C-alpha cells in the first residue's frame, strides 16, 4: 500500500489521515471547502484516543471543562431540577471543544508528516475500471490510489457510491451558537438538559480562540418531527431566550451498517457509522476508530486485513451504541404521563444510572 486518498476535510477525514500518517504512505485529502460548525462534547474515551492518535496533549488547552450534568423539566412555565450529576467525581477529562478547533488540531498533527497533502477540489463521481476506482474532480482531474477512504459524511458522494442510494431517513435537529457572555457564565462548567413536551434542549459552553460561546441543540419529539420547520424559545429560561435556531438533520435510518466497502473504497466516520446524538459519541467514536486503525497498522499494513479486523472488532460496538443512543433519545422524549417513571428514576437514582452508562461507554465495557 503506497497511496491513500481520503475524501473529506472534517473530523473523520483528518482523524483517519493521522492513523496512516506515521507510516511511509502517501496520503492525499481531497475536499473543496472547510466546513466546521458548533461544538461537540469530548469524553474520556475520545480524549484518550486523540492523545494516542496524535502523540500530543495540546488538546487539553482547547477544551472547556465540564463538571456537572444538570437535567431539568419544564412544568407550568418553570424548570424543575431532576438531577445534578457530578462528572468530576469519576471522570476528570470531560468537556467540550469547538469542531473547528478539533479539525485544525488534527490537521496540524497530520501535516507534520511530509507524506500528507491537501487537494482542494470537489469529487464529482467515481469511475470503476476492473474493480479499481478512480475519481474525477470538478477541475477535470482524475485520481487513483491503492485505497480510497470516504470520510465526507452521510450526505457525501462516497456513501452514495457504496450504498447505491442517496435517500436517507433523517431526523430534524435545531442548532445554534450564542456569544452572549451572560449565557456563557450561566452554563459554565455544566452540561444542561431541559426536557419539555415538545422536545429536549442540550446546552453547554465551549471556547473558540478568544471567544466564550454556548452551544445549543434542540431535538424535537417524534410527534413534532413531521411538521416542525421553525423554532423559537422566548420566555422559557434565561439561557434559551433570544436564540436564533438553525434547522439541521441527522441520519435516523436503521440500516446504515449494511455496507461500508465497495471495490477499493472504504467508508469511515459518519459516512459509515452515523451515530444518533443522544449519547454524544459521534466525534468520540471517530477518534476511537482512527486510533484503532493506527494500532492495527503497527502490526500489519495489509489493507484487507485492516478493514476486516476493524469491522470484526468495531461493528458490533457501533450497533450497541446506536441502539443505546436511540433508546436514550426516546427516554428523553417522553412526555405527559409517560414521563413520570423517567422523572422518578432521574430524581432518585441518577447517580447510579449515569455511573453505569458512562462506565459502559467511556471505559469500553460493552462486553461485561
State the residue range of the domain holding 115.
3-36+99-167+253-334
Nearest Cα neighbor of 322 from 253, 226, 261 is 253
Residue 268 lies in a domain: yes
Backbone angles phi, psi at 270, to 5 degrees: -65, -20
What is the structure's pLDDT at 368? 46
Provide the residue-wise pLDDT of the chain in tens; the chain has 368 residues. 889 999 999 999 999 999 999 898 999 999 998 878 889 999 999 999 999 999 999 899 999 999 999 999 987 778 899 999 999 888 888 999 999 999 999 999 999 999 999 999 999 999 987 777 999 999 999 999 999 999 999 889 999 999 887 666 788 999 999 999 999 999 999 999 999 988 999 999 999 988 999 999 999 988 888 788 888 876 677 888 889 999 988 876 545 556 789 989 999 999 988 888 889 999 999 999 999 999 999 998 888 899 999 999 998 888 888 889 989 989 998 888 899 999 999 999 999 999 999 988 898 765 54
Confidence at residue 82, expressed as pLDDT on a 0 to 100 scale = 96
Give strand pairing partners of 71: 83, 193
44 falls within a domain? no
Ramachandran bin of 126, using left for φ above 0, alpha for ψ from -120 to 50, beta for the remaining angles: beta
Question: Burial, 235: exposed, middle or buried (Cβ in 10 Å; 0-12, 13-18, 19+)?
Answer: exposed
Running DSSP on this structure, what letter comes out for residue 287? H
pLDDT at 188: 95
Q: Which of 124, 163, 123, 159 is closest to 30 using CA atoms?
A: 123
pLDDT at 294: 96
Note whether residue 179 is domain-resident. no
Residue 19 lies in a domain: yes
Q: Is residue 124 classed exposed, middle or buried when 0-12, 13-18 and 19+ CB atoms within 10 A define those classes? A: middle
Would residue 14 count as lying in a domain?
A: yes
208 inside domain? no
Instruction: Classify residue 284 by burial, with Cβ atoms within 10 Å: 0-12, 13-18, 19+.
Output: buried
In contact, 177 and 216? CB cutoff 8 Å:
yes
Count of domains in the chain? 1
CA distances to 99, 150, 242 from 271, rounded to whole Å, are 17, 7, 34
Instruction: Note whether residue 122 is domain-resident.
Output: yes
The CATH number given to whatever domain includes residue 325 is 3.50.50.60
Q: Is residue 83 part of a domain?
A: no
Per-residue burial over 131-152, b if 16 or more Cβ lie within 10 Å, else e, is eebebebeeeeebebebbbbbb
Residue 22: count other Cβ atoms within 10 Å of its Cβ. Answer: 17
Amino acid at each position: 500500500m503506497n497511496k491513500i486518498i481520503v475524501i473529506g476535510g472534517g473530523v473523520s477525514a483528518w482523524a483517519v489521515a493521522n492513523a496512516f500518517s506515521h507510516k511511509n504512505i502517501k496520503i492525499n485529502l481531497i475536499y473543496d471547502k472547510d466546513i466546521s460548525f458548533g461544538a461537540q462534547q469530548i469524553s474520556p474515551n475520545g480524549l484518550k484516543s486523540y492523545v494516542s492518535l496524535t502523540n500530543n496533549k495540546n488538546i487539553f488547552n482547547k477544551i472547556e471543562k465540564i463538571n456537572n450534568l444538570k437535567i431539568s423539566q419544564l412544568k407550568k412555565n418553570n424548570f424543575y431540577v431532576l438531577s445534578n450529576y457530578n462528572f468530576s467525581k469519576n471522570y476528570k477529562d470531560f468537556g467540550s471543544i469547538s469542531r473547528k478547533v478539533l479539525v485544525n488540531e488534527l490537521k496540524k498533527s497530520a501535516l507534520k508528516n511530509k507524506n500528507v497533502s491537501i487537494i482542494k477540489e470537489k469529487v464529482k463521481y467515481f469511475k470503476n475500471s476492473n474493480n479499481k476506482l478512480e475519481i474525477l474532480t470538478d477541475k477535470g482531474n482524475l485520481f487513483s490510489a491503492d485505497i480510497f477512504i470516504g470520510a465526507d459524511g452521510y450526505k457525501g458522494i462516497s456513501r452514495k457510491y457504496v450504498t447505491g442510494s442517496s435517500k436517507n431517513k433523517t431526523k430534524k435537529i435545531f442548532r445554534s451558537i450564542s456569544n452572549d457572555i451572560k449565557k456563557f457564565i450561566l452554563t459554565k462548567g455544566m452540561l444542561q438538559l431541559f426536557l419539555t413536551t415538545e422536545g429536549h434542549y442540550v446546552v453547554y459552553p465551549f471556547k473558540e480562540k478568544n471567544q466564550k460561546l454556548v452551544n445549543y441543540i434542540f431535538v424535537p419529539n417524534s410527534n413534532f418531527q413531521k411538521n416542525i420547520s421553525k423554532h423559537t424559545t422566548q420566555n422559557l429560561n434565561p439561557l434559551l431566550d433570544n436564540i436564533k435556531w438553525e434547522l439541521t438533520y441527522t441520519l435516523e435510518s436503521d440500516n446504515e451498517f449494511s455496507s461500508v466497502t465497495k471495490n477499493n473504497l472504504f467508508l469511515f466516520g459518519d459516512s459509515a457509522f452515523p451515530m444518533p446524538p443522544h449519547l454524544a459519541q459521534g466525534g468520540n467514536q471517530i477518534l476511537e476508530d482512527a486510533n484503532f486503525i493506527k494500532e492495527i497498522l503497527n502490526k500489519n499494513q495489509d489493507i484487507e486485513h485492516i478493514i476486516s479486523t476493524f469491522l470484526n472488532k468495531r461493528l458490533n460496538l457501533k450497533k450497541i451504541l446506536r441502539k443505546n443512543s436511540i433508546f436514550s433519545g426516546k427516554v428523553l422524549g417522553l412526555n405527559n404521563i409517560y414521563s413520570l417513571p423517567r422523572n422518578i428514576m432521574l430524581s432518585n437514582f441518577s447517580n447510579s444510572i449515569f455511573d453505569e452508562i458512562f462506565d459502559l461507554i467511556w471505559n469500553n465495557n460493552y462486553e461485561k
